[in-house]
Amino acid sequence: MGFWKSLFGGEDKNSEEAKKETEVKNFDLLKYDGVKAMRMGQAEYAEKCFREALKIQDDLETRDYLQQVLTQMGNLEGALAELKVMADAQPDNVAVLMQAAHVAYMQENYEEMTTLCEQALAVDDSNANATYQYAQAALAQGDVVNGVARLTKAIAQNENYGDAYLLRAKTLLAMGDLNGAMADVQWLIHHVEANEDVMIVAARVLNATGKTDEALDIYNTVVEMNPFQIDAYRERGKIKYDRGDKQGAEEDMQKVLELNPNEMADVSGDYSAEGIEAKVKDSYKILNPLGL
């Protein structure tokens, strides 16, 4: 019986099947060991597992896990490369294109981000996230008019798109369109739960329009919510400085320096009254009321 199996290739066939079964088993072990390691925060081991698994089988889910790990590790170039392989395999997958655009944004590769957003919009021209990320890329490249237009379109596509309202409010504020910025801020206040980013922008708008008492109230609330919010201390201190509250301004600058010791490089006397006073004068004289 063994002779006939050998003669007609039976043993080779079984050997080949056994090899394939082993490969499948090894792939599964490597993939799920990688997932386990990723969830335990063992990124380097997870990366190794996923790469070894991909040598056995080109699997899009495994590539997705790999790009997540690479992103966590700060290897944005590697993560983007994996996402582009996935996008080539599934050109109509808008979610993959958007994740790739997000990684490109983190990488400050705005031209690549624009291209990816255009590809996503070619698949689904009503996708608010793609339109929003397109706006981010435009603004990052200094194309403010196009950026605002894209944000407005994203809001039209999704009327509850809080991030789009917030970014448009910041952009309009920087452009000096206080009425437009205030309208977006009011929408955010009524539709978004207490959010320090929204509150900071609201305070900046109020300060820019001369409503400093209201701005101070908001800054006070922000630092109560988050006592590590450097911008709130710095900008509140600026208002106090302009109003002649030297002590209050110095106290806020002291807090800024405690939270960000790197700013001490420009202060003589290590937290001395003279050093902080000089820092207060230098910082608050040039601080833009719009938070820029």
pLDDT tens-digit series, residues 119-159: 999 999 999 999 999 999 999 999 999 999 999 999 999 99
Cα end-to-end span (Å), the chain: 85
**Structure confidence at residue 124 (pLDDT):** 97
pLDDT over 90 (residue 273): no
Where is average pLDDT lowest: 2-11, 79-88, 229-238, 275-284?
Answer: 2-11
Of 97, 99, 64, 95, whose CA–CA distance to 82 is shortest? 64
- Cα–Cα distance for residue pair 145/70, rounded to 1 Å: 34
- Enumerate the H helices of the chain as residue ranges: 2-7, 10-39, 43-56, 60-73, 76-89, 94-106, 110-123, 128-140, 144-157, 162-175, 178-191, 196-208, 212-225, 230-242, 246-259, 273-286
DSSP secondary-structure letter at 263? G
